[in-house]
Amino acid sequence: MIQTVSTSSPGPTVNTTHDQELRHIAEDLEATFLAEMLKSAGFGKARESFGGGVGEEQFSSFLLQNHAKAIVKSGGIGLAEQLFNSLKAR
């Protein structure tokens, strides 16, 4: 979501909203990174026995993404914070 900022005196809500958007973007990027790392580590691969077959394989990316979002929500690995600070400095 792109927000237009007025050139008149911007209030504190503009900065707060902008910071919230930057934090959300940073957390999404960390979650995507973590999902790829989990995928590379083999997390979410179909099991040999009692696996869900093709359906499980097709939806495993959603499971990985939700696990990654849960990791970020519980504190993550600190990548989102670093990204947020870098984006905010710009």
Averaged pLDDT for residues 8-19: 70
Residue 78: give the domain boundaries.
32-38+55-90
54-81 pLDDT tens trace:
777 778 889 899 999 999 999 999 999 9
Indicate whether 20 belongs to any domain: no
Task: Indicate the residue type of 61.
Answer: S
Indicate whether 63 belongs to any domain: yes
**pTM higher than 0.75 for the full model?**
no
For residue 31, pLDDT beyond 80:
yes
Indicate whether 47 belongs to any domain: no
Indicate whether 24 belongs to any domain: no
Q: How many domains does the chain have?
A: 1
36-59 pLDDT tens trace:
999 999 886 766 655 667 777 778
Indicate whether 13 belongs to any domain: no
Give the model's pLDDT for residue 78: 94
Residue 13 CB neighbours (<10 A): 8
